[in-house]
Homo-oligomer: A and B are copies of this chain.
């Protein structure tokens, strides 16, 4: 494992539950010798990739630094899509009064690029969050219009169960994707979070290939596919058109 990989591993052990970590904890989580972590972390602080928490803070340690935020905002996949999508997403939120998600496929998972609407205690999606594609509405919408190889990759990586309703069999998934293709939208009835459902539709880029997924999410009682479906599909079509017209 090279130095770069080690440094990435150190940065990678931070998550939203551990905003700051001490040196020993970092060494434990990465499995690297304490001395090595100490040296790497020292250098990363110098580069502003990490920050030291002030001596007065509750827990002394390190946190992710602004450098990462600044670079993260420059990631083209995020910036160009989000800029084009935000107006459409705001309209969709105003029309449905639910939570709106924009996500892309990244490997076998879905990464949320942008989320609009208040955070309910039950709906825990985070911008930048990563969820197995088969267990979300957006993920299924994207997979339904992706290559067979992409779908196979997801199946071969396993179909982990998130709730009792998660699709966990390869046959179940391919059948579901066929259904999505015929209706043009994906339904997620508590497959990712209990009590939470969503309606999603695919977004296509200028090259006519699927580029992202758009979804309306809410408590199951508030999600009526009959009314939300057309709204999401319309918004997704609008966004696809905007992307096509601006050549993105």
Contacts and interface: CB of A to CB of B under 8 A. Distances in A.
A238 B63 CA distance: 27
Interface in A1-53: 2-5, 7-8, 11-12, 14-16, 19-20, 40, 43-44, 46-47, 49, 51
Interface stretch (A76-84, A176-184, A196-204): A76-84
Contacts of A46: 5
Given A4-B43, A4-B44, A49-B8, A128 B76 contact: no
Given A4-B47, A43-B4, A111-B66, A73 B72 contact: yes
Contacts of A67: 8
A71 B72 contact: yes
Interface residues of A, number: 51
A204 B4 CA distance: 37
B69 A4 contact: no
B75 A69 contact: yes
